[in-house]
């Protein structure tokens, strides 16, 4: 099954046209909204992979809605539509992590490549965030091991290498990660 998207535009004919393009290209439409506030609500309810949203909508503009959607991580990525070629609006969109910017009228040859590019960019960002999280976790784990190693060196009169080997051996014997063993030792030693 393809990606799930939400369409937000105050013009019903544009929503219908975009829905047709998406469905003809294997995308699922999770819902439609006619203003920015409804777009936020719909994203909260459906958690779509993406949203295609007009900038100029009543109640809450597309950029205002995009701010909420991004802050609350309610959709994977956002592509905005506008009827105007406005550099200031485009710059605002860039600063809000909007993944695509399309000037109306929308057509299949513009929309589908924009979705594919945004999807690829979003995947790359997600992978970088996962890698950053793993690196951060590894560094945090290393801090625990280093602290435990220092205490073991002091309490057991061991060299750094011996203390590290001791923690590693415990981890292997207990079938647990070294960081988990180090955390237990730190708690046991009241640290």
pLDDT tens by residue, the chain, 191 residues: 579 999 999 999 999 999 999 999 999 999 999 999 999 999 999 999 999 999 988 889 888 999 999 999 999 999 998 877 767 776 776 677 788 888 888 999 999 999 999 999 888 988 998 899 888 888 888 898 889 988 988 888 988 898 888 888 988 888 998 898 898 888 888 77
99 occurs within a structural domain = yes
158 occurs within a structural domain = yes
25 occurs within a structural domain = yes
Query: Global pTM?
Result: 0.71
Total structural domains in the chain? Answer: 2
85 and 172 in a single domain? The answer is no
Residue 165: which domain range?
132-188
78 and 137 in a single domain? The answer is no
94 and 140 in a single domain? The answer is no
89 and 159 in a single domain? The answer is no
DSSP letter string, 112-154: HHHHHHHHHHHHHHHHHHHHHHHHHHHHHHHHHHHHHHHHHHH
Q: Which uninterrupted H or E stretch holds 92?
A: helix 87-95
Residues whose CB is less than 8 angstroms from the CB of residue 66 and which lie 6 or more positions away in sequence, other chains included:
53, 78, 80, 93, 96, 98
Comparing CA positions, the residue from 98, 36, 70, 9 lying closest to residue 89 is 98
Choosing from 47, 71, 106, the residue where a domain stops is 106
């Amino acid at each position: 099954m393809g990606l799930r998207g939400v369409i937000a535009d105050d013009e019903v004919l544009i929503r219908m046209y975009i829905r047709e393009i998406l469905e003809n290209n294997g995308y699922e439409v999770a819902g439609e909204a006619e203003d920015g506030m409804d777009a936020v609500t719909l994203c909260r309810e459906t958690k779509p992979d993406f949203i295609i949203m007009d900038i100029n909508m009543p109640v809450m503009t597309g950029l205002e809605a995009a701010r909420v959607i991004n802050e609350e991580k309610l959709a994977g990525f956002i592509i905005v539509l506008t009827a105007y070629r406005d550099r200031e609006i485009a710059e605002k969109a860039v600063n809000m992590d909007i993944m695509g910017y399309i000037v109306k009228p929308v057509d299949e040859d513009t929309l589908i490549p924009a979705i594919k590019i945004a999807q690829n960019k979003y995947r790359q960002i997600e992978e970088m965030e996962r890698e950053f999280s793993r690196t951060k976790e590894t560094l945090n784990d290393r801090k625990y091991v280093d602290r435990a190693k220092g205490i073991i060196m002091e309490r057991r009169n061991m060299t750094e290498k011996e203390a590290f080997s001791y923690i590693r051996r415990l981890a292997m014997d207990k079938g647990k990660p070294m960081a988990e063993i180090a955390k237990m030792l730190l708690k046991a030693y009241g640290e």
